[in-house]
Amino acid sequence: MKKQLLTLSMTVVLALTSLPAISSQAKTTPVKHLPTSITKKTWYRKTSGSEGGFNDKTVFHGNTMRMTFSYGGNADWKLTKLRKSSAKVYYATLHYSKKYSSPVKIKIRSHKKFDIIEKHGVNSRGNYAGNENYGAMIFSTNKKPNVID
């Protein structure tokens, strides 16, 4: 009886230690910068489906986004803790100012468009639940106002 109990307990221990770790986090790899297909272009911030129109010119300098607002004025948004999840998905912390920052997901749609999605967006359930219809900041190379490629 003791031998069977010992064999059973060893089998359970081996089975549990051989299981992969269960994690709700996506596997990510730290990186220094976004790909050059993003950082070497001039972008224009468009709308998500629920917001009014923007047409803010955005230029990257390393991991800093220089925003030139359509109504006048400038701002620098900084990306820190940049991590790559896949070829088209990055995670980072976006610093809007010295006091306000938010975890974001950067989803590259094509060579002409990418989205920045905040982690707990307003009126959305789940992490990074925004999309191009609601909650995502859409950046496009098209200069025309309110035209989304």
Helix (H), strand (E) at residue 80: strand 74-86
Sign of the dihedral through C-alpha 81, 128, 38, 61: negative
pLDDT for 2 beyond 80:
no
Q: What is the pLDDT of residue 84?
A: 94
Distance CA 15, CA 87 (A): 34
Measured CA to CA in angstroms, residue 74 lies from 38, 39, 112, 123, 145 at distances of 20, 18, 23, 28, 18
Q: Residue 3's pLDDT band (boundaries 50, 70, 90)?
A: low
Q: Tell me which of 35 and 55 has the higher pLDDT.
A: 35
Four-point Cα dihedral 98, 64, 142, 111, nearest 10: -130
Q: Average per-residue pLDDT in the chain?
A: 79
Q: Residue 21's pLDDT band (boundaries 50, 70, 90)?
A: very low
Distance CA 74, CA 94 (A): 16
